[in-house]
Structure 1
Amino acid sequence: MKKAITINESDNLGVALTDLQTGATISINGAEVSLKQDIQAKHKFALHDLAIGDEMYMYGLVVGTAKVAILAGQAITVENTAHKATSFTDQATSDFQWAAPDVSRFEQRTFDGYHRADGQVGTDNVWLVFPLVFCENRNILTIKKAFEKALGYEDSNAYNDFASTLVDQYKNGASFDEIKLETAIKAEKKELFENVKVKFITHQAGCGGTREDSDTLCRLLAGYLKNPNVAGATVLSLGCQNAQVSILQSAIADTSGTLTKPLLIFDQQETGKESDLIENAIKDTFKGLIEANKITRQPAPLSKLTIGLECGGSDGFSGISANPALGHVSDMITALGGKAILSEFPELCGVEQELINRTKDPAHAKKFISLMRAYAKSAEDVGSGFDMNPSPGNIKDGLITDAMKSAGAAKKGGTSPVVDVLDYTEYANNNGLSLLCTPGNDVESTTGLVGSGANVVLFTTGLGTPTGNPIAPILKVSSNTKLAEHMPDIIDINAGVVIEGKKTIAEMGEEMLNQIIQIASGQVAAKAVLMNQEDFIPWKRGVSL
């Protein structure tokens, strides 16, 4: 295993693949560097002396400047480094040619999915229940509690059994100190419906904020209704909120044309008694579940996959193992005629020119530039900026500047042409790679990806995050083996073997695609699904990075 690498031959920063000691001599790119201090794994060090103001390069891009003089072999830190990103122009600066990966081994492969009337294919079959306004959250949770018991979901939480076992031991006067979660008595789980699940969303939006936010919420929910993983939906409305039923219906028309799925809407102020509202909603939803359960999995080509590309809790290895492996998957899905969506615009800072050069339609490039500049300005207007994007966890594990973080994060998008640029809540309709404007915040971004049509999401992490989604499986990919071993309950695939030299990026990508096919077919459950991690946070524009 190598001790350190550079990512591009033009880089003047090295990346430590393991902990390095002061005085060690590192051979890298044909040169030898004597380390002036300890360098932790994932962190960077200077390959040459840097004067104040000198630019630092990784991935062949500017990722910062020296705030003080830095000697070759010294660590790159927040104290000696200032954020700086590669600039971009308003048009392409070079011709773009794409060499698609060899996908011959996957061309005849299929997954078993749920076919919808509009031609899309779901990787799951979900009946979705959600409110148009936070005032209805209590009623949503009441319906959820009723269905979980009746449909056989209630015992899915092993902690209930664990607590019950402790109580029984205490009542019997027996010791409970030795009782462990895995030894607690568990009730047999037997779900009523084999082919459909009912999932519930709550949120804090729909009224009281800006009309823009409530309108955006309606467009986001319209995208969830169109998502092929959804079989039908039940909607609760109070009646007087900003997010009116009519606005949702207009958003559905804009997103789907004519919705080909059942949609049940219940208005509390129109109905009257809360008990009548809940009774009607439960009864009609149950009828919908009976019909949705008749839909079964059927083979579908891989071109019916729409993968969302996400990262969260990133570390200094994310950009050289897990993210480029996702990029290879994205390229394979594109070559097979499917769709891939790259989100998190604050984490495309410094790679704009590369993406502009890859954009097929100049109008899409112009839209991308406009969205990036508007987003950057809105962040600055509230006293922030893209330079403040790296979290304490990112910095602790080697991502010192946003440009450094972005250069690695963008690798999730592979190398294929950009076929479309989507603003938040716009739906991905074109085969190939689309860019979607979302914040870098994990849940807000993942929520947006699913609202734009992703029927499975690939989520890389170097530090660990349990993020999930109510209707789409979220497949977690670890950038390093230590994390995969430390948090096995949330990690689906370990890309740390790339760092260890055991697999290439291409081999890791193919392994990942095989796992996606299994999850899309219902043969394997993603760890986030097993943990019942079902996060949903709409984005309030201009607030989040």
Structure 2
Amino acid sequence: MSVASVPVVLHLHSEDNVVVATRQLPRDFSLPETNGTQGLKTREPIELGHKIAVRKIDTGSPIRKFGQTIGFATREIQPGDWVHTHNVEAGQLSLDYAFASEVPPDPTPLTGRTFMGYRRPDGRAATRNYIGIVSTVNCSAATSKMVAQRFERSLLEQFPNVDGVIPLTHQAGCAMQLGGPDHMQLNRVLSGYARHANIGAYILIGLGCETGQASFLAEKNDLHQIQIPGQKSDLPLILNMQEVGGIAKTVRRAADIIKEMLPEVNNAQRVPIPVSEINLGLNCGGSDGNSGITANPALGIAGDMLVAYGGASVLAETPEIYGGEHLLTRRAKTKAIGEKLVERIKWWEKYTSMFGAEINNNPSVGNKKGGLTTIYEKSLGAIAKGGQSALSAVYDYAEPISQKGFCFMDTPGYDPVSVTGLVAGGCNVVVFTTGRGSCLGSKPAPTIKVATNTPMYERMIDDMDLNSGKVLDGTPL
């Protein structure tokens, strides 16, 4: 298909009263006569990914896209008008959750596809092979980074099977209730990273006086690791700066330990592993009006294929399914699974209200510049990453992913925090779609970044891996 033959607008569903521009359109541009656009001209310039009314929409009437309501007109909208924040508000939706009423059948099993990964002694599959330096508290974060800096890529050349030495740091670890919700959630994240299949070995570095003690972390989460020469136990190696003697001594001691770890970690070899052992984390950020048309549906198809092969595809970002969650509750395998998802939505409604905010204020400045008008529109596009498979499980933040199939994890919409939860839960690959251009990375899991449109892909080609915007250009993926 040539670029000239690609429609300049897309009418996504027969019930939609808007179309989406696939390129920049000037004022008074005559739209081709397709379903819903007969004799229509743009009444003002329209940017790529933005919406145009195809018929008159009265004040208070719903705006329809994807066959769903994405908001309500705040004033009368004429055919050819630009439809966006100046004439649309989110309003309130009435959703029918219809739990487990539209559960799709299990896919026909697929077999025979493999990837080259690392097989761990406990049988798990890894896509990378790192040594991790886990900081128990912000007070040891800088020290952990100093240790990692001792092992630049050039110093690891004699260990070709080691992908790197990485600091795993954060800004918490103290000023919290011992054993309280914050402490236990942090423990869940840190232990998830420490025992992640992509971490071949690790050490724990603390300050010594923090609430989040390394010993508590190791004991409560039953942490173990590879047997290191000279060590009599497989328990985690813990360095508390106050006990070792400060920053410099801790850095030297940690570096010496890692030097002992390197040969053992380097013994891992890539071997063919069935794709059924991939836990795929799905995330999007810097979304635009094309996200729900190009990258996210393509990722949804890939996720469905992975499910058919026996793998796990894990959607996240609870505030960014808001207003579209009924599409997931209907696909839930059981009523209980659907109800847990709704319970998480209600929690976020309550949480945001405590700060005088609302979930439906979610779209960012960049989202809006890219054509997304309301949280409902953004959510419908985001949910497309989840494909069409049945919803098999709903997980708390950073909870270990134990179920294959299509799952959901409760995370915030802030991308670094959301992906952290997915990786801590065991995702060994992350695919991240972006329309505005997010450069997110998520070691120890590789992050494949998929652009939703060609102009951004070409502008940021050094940071993007795939261009799904080719669909709008008339090129198959």
TM-score of the superposed pair, with normalisation by structure 1: 0.80
Alignment of 1:116-515 (within 5 A): 116-148=120-152, 152=154, 191-196=157-162, 197-209=164-176, 211-253=180-222, 263-503=236-476, 508=477
Could you tell me how far 1:193 is from its partner in structure 2? 1.0
CA contact (8 A) 1:458 1:477 kept: yes
CA contact (8 A) 1:316 1:399 kept: yes
CA deviation profile, 1:122-141 (whole Å, cap 9, x unmatched): 00011101210111123212
For 1:280, give the aligned amino acid.
R
User: Matched residue of 2:450: which SS?
Assistant: strand
Alignment of 1:34-113 (within 5 A): 34-84=41-91, 86-89=93-96, 91-92=98-99, 94-98=101-105, 100=107, 107-113=111-117
Q: Counterparts of 1:269 and 1:91 in 2: how far apart (Å)?
A: 56
CA contact (8 A) 2:18 2:65 kept: yes
Could you tell me how far 1:273 is from its partner in structure 2? 4.6
Could you tell me how far 1:310 is from its partner in structure 2? 0.8
For 1:59, give the aligned amino acid.
F
Can you give the 5+ residue segments of structure 2 that lack an aligned partner in the other structure?
1-5, 228-233
Q: Counterparts of 1:423 and 1:9 in 2: how far apart (Å)?
A: 37
CA deviation profile, 1:18-49 (whole Å, cap 9, x unmatched): 22233333333254133222222210011221
For 2:125, give the aligned amino acid.
V
CA contact (8 A) 2:287 2:435 kept: yes
CA deviation profile, 1:145-166 (whole Å, cap 9, x unmatched): 2222xx625xxxxxxxxxxxxx
CA deviation profile, 1:447-499 (whole Å, cap 9, x unmatched): 11111111111011111111102201110101111111111100101101111
Are 1:11 and 2:16 counterparts? yes
Which is worse superposed, 224-233 or 348-357? 224-233
User: Matched residue of 2:392: which SS?
Assistant: strand
Q: Counterparts of 1:488 and 1:322 in 2: how far apart (Å)?
A: 16
User: Matched residue of 2:457: which SS?
Assistant: helix
Could you tell me how far 1:378 is from its partner in structure 2? 0.4
Q: Counterparts of 1:273 and 1:240 in 2: how far apart (Å)?
A: 13
Q: Counterparts of 1:427 and 1:77 in 2: how far apart (Å)?
A: 40
Q: Counterparts of 1:326 and 1:302 in 2: how far apart (Å)?
A: 16
Q: Counterparts of 1:287 and 1:343 in 2: how far apart (Å)?
A: 38
User: Matched residue of 1:491: which SS?
Assistant: coil
CA contact (8 A) 2:99 2:339 kept: no
CA contact (8 A) 1:418 1:434 kept: yes
For 2:172, give the aligned amino acid.
A
Which is worse superposed, 374-383 or 488-497? 374-383
TM-score of the superposed pair, with normalisation by structure 2: 0.91
User: Matched residue of 1:147: which SS?
Assistant: coil
CA contact (8 A) 1:54 1:66 kept: yes
User: Matched residue of 1:341: which SS?
Assistant: strand
CA contact (8 A) 1:307 1:340 kept: yes
Could you tell me how far 1:322 is from its partner in structure 2? 0.5
CA contact (8 A) 2:100 2:332 kept: no
% of aligned pairs identical? 35
CA deviation profile, 1:428-463 (whole Å, cap 9, x unmatched): 111111101111111111111111111111011111
User: Matched residue of 1:192: which SS?
Assistant: coil
CA contact (8 A) 2:18 2:51 kept: yes
Q: Counterparts of 1:53 and 1:247 in 2: how far apart (Å)?
A: 56
Distance 1:89 1:251, change over 3 A: farther
- What's 1:2 paired with? 7
Could you tell me how far 1:248 is from its partner in structure 2? 1.4
For 1:239, give the aligned amino acid.
G
Looking at secondary structure, tell me which structure has more helix per residue.
1
CA contact (8 A) 2:109 2:310 kept: no
Q: Counterparts of 1:116 and 1:406 in 2: how far apart (Å)?
A: 37
Q: Counterparts of 1:93 and 1:368 in 2: how far apart (Å)?
A: 12
Q: Counterparts of 2:410 and 2:285 in 1: how far apart (Å)?
A: 16
Can you give the 5+ residue segments of structure 1 that lack an aligned partner in the other structure?
154-189, 509-545
Could you tell me how far 1:225 is from its partner in structure 2? 2.0
Equivalent residue for 1:28, pick from 30, 34, 57? 34
Q: Counterparts of 2:121 and 2:381 in 1: how far apart (Å)?
A: 39
CA contact (8 A) 1:480 1:497 kept: yes
CA contact (8 A) 2:201 2:225 kept: no
Q: Counterparts of 1:103 and 1:21 in 2: how far apart (Å)?
A: 49
User: Matched residue of 1:56: which SS?
Assistant: strand
CA contact (8 A) 2:106 2:390 kept: no
Q: Counterparts of 1:36 and 1:209 in 2: how far apart (Å)?
A: 56
Distance 1:399 1:103, change over 3 A: farther
- What's 2:230 paired with? none
- What's 2:231 paired with? none
Distance 1:273 1:205, change over 3 A: closer
CA contact (8 A) 1:84 1:403 kept: no
Q: Counterparts of 1:85 and 1:341 in 2: how far apart (Å)?
A: 28
User: Matched residue of 1:457: which SS?
Assistant: strand
For 1:299, give the aligned amino acid.
P
CA contact (8 A) 1:85 1:403 kept: no
CA contact (8 A) 1:122 1:455 kept: yes
Distance 1:198 1:85, change over 3 A: farther
Could you tell me how far 1:289 is from its partner in structure 2? 1.8
For 1:231, give the aligned amino acid.
G
Could you tell me how far 1:237 is from its partner in structure 2? 1.2
RMSD: 2.0
For 1:29, give the aligned amino acid.
N
For 1:194, give the aligned amino acid.
P
Could you tell me how far 1:119 is from its partner in structure 2? 2.5
Distance 1:95 1:237, change over 3 A: same
